[in-house]
Amino acid sequence: MVLQSLKNCVWLSCILRTPKACFWSAASGGLIIQSVSNDVYQNLAVEDWIHDHMDLEKQQILFLWRNSPAVVIGRHQNPWQECNLRLLRQKNIKLARRRSGGGTVYHDLGNINLTFFTTRKKYERLENLKLIVKALKALRPQLEVHVTDRFDILLDRQYKISGTAAKLGRTSAYHHCTLLCNADKFVLSSVLKSPYKGLKSNATPSVPALVKNLFEDDPSLTSEMLLDAIAKEYAVQHKINHHITLINPADETLLPGISDKTKELQTWEWVYGKTPKFSVSTCLNMAYKDSVLDVKVNMDVKHGRIEACNIDLPEQWLPPGLYSELVKSLTGSKFCPNETTTLLTALLRVCPQDNELHSRWSLLCENMIRLM
Amino acid sequence: VCIHRVRSCSSIRFIKSKYVCVFDKSALKFSHQQRLFRTSAVSCGQIVQFKLSDIGEGITEVTVKEWYIKEGDSVSQFDSICEVQSDKASVTITSRYDGIIRKLHYSIDDIAFVGKPLVDIEIDASKGVASEEDVVETPPMSHDEHTHQEIKGHKTLATPAVRRLAMENNIKLSEVVGTGKDNRILKEDILNYLAKQTGAILPPSPKAEIVPPQRKAEAVPAAPKDKARKVPVPVSRPIAFAGKDKTEPVTGFQKAMVKTMSAALKIPHFGYSDEIDLTQLVQLREELKPLAEIRGVKLSFMPFFMKAASLGLLQYPILNASLDENCQNITYKASHNIGVAMDTEQGLIVPNVKNVQVCSVFDIAVELNRLQSLGSAGQLGTSDLTGGTFTLSNIGTIGGTYAKPVILPPEVAIGALGKIQVLPRFNSKGEVFKAQIMNVSWSADHRIIDGATMARFSNLWKSYLENPASMLLDLK
């Protein structure tokens, strides 16, 4: 395996002159590249960049990447429905929304990502997955792996080791998939379990599946070995050299415009704001003094912001003026614990200062924030 | 002339329902007589049904997930129309025509069928169905509304709005680098191009002057210096600023500020400022910093400022009080919960350290570290953000000397600390020495606090900080 670092290349002039950039001389029918970064946003930005700027007519591309702990949701999914956002924040696990469809996955360095870039016409997911299975079997013939018609790869006929998603544009397309080598299954199962109740939405739901690491069947396997085996098989099938070119997703001269793409993927508007409209209909069980209050809450959230909000508090539990201030504050605000905390604590400054009211208010705030 | 055409067009509508007469809306925005006349001559458009093309892999139906346009919007060829999803694949559907969207055949979450109409687009009858042929580049002064211009054998993609912008500023699209999809030229690209043009007229940056002439180099270093010195002759053409006002609703942290500061307006503020010589404190902190680091804590000046303030509040408790709504009663708060103004990515947030009166300087530092990391992660809780009784704002870490802080209700006083500057001062012997000077600006509620009280509190606080050893005497 030969790893080359890409430094001086004349292709920069190619980009400005031709409508679609052609990275390297199009002598070969394929190209294998690997990211040196483990940042999920940077790597997703590379996918966007290649999809938008590269001419895939002459050569197809295989992109290999791995991320430090992150949860990646599909384009049309609802993060509140898909994962435990509280846990993600606590553990400092990143949340990203990719541009392809499909369900939610957990990434860490024990999981490898493979993206197959082709023209729109040559888009063929099954072939790509068969390539991966072929590579796995060549590496370890005793591995019991096969491709299902849902575009999953199963180990031992029952455990999912790969999930697939795809993005199609006007002229180009990509199919990417994961491969579980040695990921932390404990963290995976805990972060992918949503604690949020009462959510109603048309967002694409994920289909939970039993997972297993390849490492569990064969402890001698490493992520590097798998990446190399798949690259080798790709090289054979595309009749190209088994070279893996390293790319740095932070290199603006190599990939002009990449930092803007990376930034966009990290904005709240993209990650949370792109959530399809949903409603929250739940009951807060607030333990107050010696009793437990059941408070019905209904909220409509659009573009990640609270469009409408109704909290069924017992009469006179809060001074009426304060309740309407509360609803007014929440309406139009992000469905986000940080913003809600700031708004509600600010409101507390301007209402009558008595301890009873303050403790009720704090109780209500804490419970509302737990919904987000 | 134009009105006459409308009437004649609307009469045609009743005769032939197949053709709908429309004025190119964009033409109407500009009272450009010439243009109006021309486009009104081609006002009748043809409605084309844009069908959902084959997705591949034998897929026959997809779910519509997001519309990028709405009825009435004008689109150009290759603009994104909508996002559909089918079996884990998200597909961006782009327009094949230039025109105006007249009808969306599906709503969000509907199932759309391959081969069936997706949207109805009204295209200009004169142009016909937009084809893929190249069009010869027209000079930028021309008012022709060609969809494409050729740059060296390639199409330049730009929406009508972008082309208009380029035309108004006499810019050749071929000279602009497009950063959009398919190298499409976006409005930002035109604006960047314009900015570069205006930059040529600005005087050279001071950096160019710093190049030392005595450096024993060849003529080469001198050449760039000369180049930088030469101010290009200003171009006579007027630079049109194409920026537009942007209105957005007040939300989030700003909404919180609106609430708080509007309430603060009801408080009659008075200000009192002074200068503190922190020379001794700076030295003390240098000695204590490594000790704190060993314990895993970052020690800034704030814990000292806060502890000294708390000691001062013990002598002047009215500054740690609260006035009720009717100004009838003053509540002297027992706890000194000193708030610290924090600047986060989302905006201003003020968490407080509880019970500073029973905390050591180190305790305060630990708590500040905790609040700071929570604050930057956006994870401060309600208890951290409520219950404050007195606030300090260390704006000096960003800059400034004197400030005019706003009291955060229900508190009655606040202090803003400027930056620490090294300034010459006279000592008791009349000698000039290097002093570390920081300014403090207090604001207080003049309904219950008078200037004398504030001044005495400030003097006491100042004396603790100028002579840190004196804090030891009163430390609780």
**In order of start, what are the domains of chain A with their CATH numbers?**
29-272 (3.30.930.10), 278-371 (3.30.390.50)
Q: How high is the pLDDT of residue B236? A: 67
DSSP per-residue string spanning B251-287: -HHHHHHHHHHHHHTTS-EEEEEEEEE-HHHHHHHHH
Question: Which chain B residues contact residue A348 at CB under 8 A?
Answer: 386
Instruction: Tell me the count of A-B CB pairs closer than 8 A.
Output: 151
For chain B, give the number of residues. Answer: 476
Which of B62, B88, B92, B150 is the mutation pick for testing A, counting most A CBs within 10 A? B88
Domain B162-197 has CATH 3.30.2130.10: no
Q: How high is the pLDDT of residue B40? A: 42
Query: Along the 372 residues of chain A, how does pLDDT read in single tens digits?
Result: 444 444 434 343 333 333 334 444 444 688 999 999 999 999 999 999 999 999 888 889 999 999 999 999 999 999 999 999 999 999 999 999 999 998 999 999 999 999 999 998 888 899 999 999 999 999 999 999 999 988 889 999 999 999 999 999 988 999 999 999 999 999 999 999 999 989 999 888 898 889 999 999 899 999 999 999 999 999 999 988 888 999 999 999 999 999 999 999 999 999 999 999 999 999 998 888 888 888 999 999 999 999 999 999 888 888 888 888 899 989 999 999 999 999 999 988 888 778 888 888 989 999 999 999
State how far residue A156 is from chain B, nearest Cα, in angstroms.
Answer: 24
CB distance A94 to A38 below 8 Å: no
Report the greatest alpha carbon distance in chain B. Answer: 104
Rounded Cα distance between A176 and A321, Å, is 53
Closest alpha carbon to B312 in B154, B176, B442: B442
CATH topology of domain B269-473: Chloramphenicol Acetyltransferase (3.30.559)
User: Is the Cβ pair A334, B251 closer than 8 Å?
Assistant: yes
| Residue boundaries of the structural domains of chain B | 46-123, 162-197, 269-473
Report the pLDDT averaged over residues B260-281: 94
CA nearest to B77 within chain A: A170
Enter the ipTM: 0.82
Q: Are strands B111-113 and B61-67 parallel, antiparallel or unpaired?
A: antiparallel
User: Is the Cβ pair A75, B108 closer than 8 Å?
Assistant: no
Rounded Cα distance between A93 and A69, Å, is 6
Q: How high is the pLDDT of residue B326? A: 86
Q: What one-character DSSP code corresponds to residue B317?
A: G
Window 118-157 of A, Cβ < 8 Å to B: 120-121, 123-125, 151
Please report, rounded to a whole number, the percentage of residues in chain B having pLDDT higher than 90: 45
User: Is the Cβ pair B380, A341 closer than 8 Å?
Assistant: yes
Q: What pLDDT band is residue B41 in, cutting at 50, 70 and 90?
A: very low
How large is the angle between the packed helices B451-466 and B302-315, nearest 10 degrees? Answer: 130
Is residue B146 part of the annotated active site? The answer reads no
Question: Which chain A residues contact residue B181 at CB under 8 A?
Answer: 52
pLDDT higher than threshold 50 for residue B60: yes
Structurally, at CATH architecture level, domain B46-123 sits in: Beta Barrel (2.40)
User: Is the Cβ pair A346, B377 closer than 8 Å?
Assistant: no
B162: tokens are 């972008």
Q: Ranked by mean pLDDT, which of A54-63, B52-61, B188-197, B282-291 comes out on top?
A: B282-291
Closest alpha carbon to B274 in B416, B412, B395: B416
Residue with tokens 């976006």: B186
Is residue B98 part of the annotated active site? The answer reads no
State how far residue B367 is from chain A, nearest Cα, in angstroms.
Answer: 18
Q: HSE on the CB side for B32, CA within 13 Å?
A: 13
Please report, rounded to a whole number, the percentage of residues in chain B having pLDDT higher than 70: 74
Instruction: Render pLDDT for B25-40 as a digit per residue (tens, 0 to 9).
Output: 444 444 444 444 444 4
Rounded Cα distance between A60 and A29, Å, is 6
User: Is the Cβ pair A168, B349 closer than 8 Å?
Assistant: no
Q: How high is the pLDDT of residue B235? A: 62
User: Residue A343: what are its φ and ψ, rounded to 5°?
Assistant: -65, -50
> What pTM was computed for the model?
0.75
Question: Which chain A residues contact residue B252 at CB under 8 A?
Answer: 333-334, 339, 342-343
A320 has a chain B CB within 8 A of its CB? no
pLDDT higher than threshold 60 for residue B134: no
DSSP per-residue string spanning A234-250: HHHHHT---EEEEE-TT
Q: HSE on the CB side for B397, CA within 13 Å?
A: 10
Which of B111, B156, B382 is the mutation pick for testing A, counting most A CBs within 10 A? B382
Helix (H, G, I), strand (E, B) or coil at B125: coil
One-letter amino acid for residue A213 of the chain: N
Helix (H, G, I), strand (E, B) or coil at B14: helix
Closest alpha carbon to A350 in B42, B173, B255: B255
Helix (H, G, I), strand (E, B) or coil at B169: coil
Weakest-pLDDT range from A72-86, B94-108, B360-374 = B94-108
Q: E-strand spans in A80-233? A: 94-97, 105-107, 111-119, 145-147, 153-155, 159-162, 164-168, 172-180, 199-201
B351 has a chain A CB within 8 A of its CB? no
Q: How high is the pLDDT of residue B346? A: 85
- What is the average pLDDT score of chain B? 79
Q: What pLDDT band is residue B125 in, cutting at 50, 70 and 90?
A: low
Question: Which chain A residues contact residue B66 at CB under 8 A?
Answer: 76, 276
Instruction: Render pLDDT for B399-457 as a digit per residue (tens, 0 to 9).
Output: 999 999 999 999 999 999 999 999 999 999 999 999 999 999 999 999 999 999 999 99
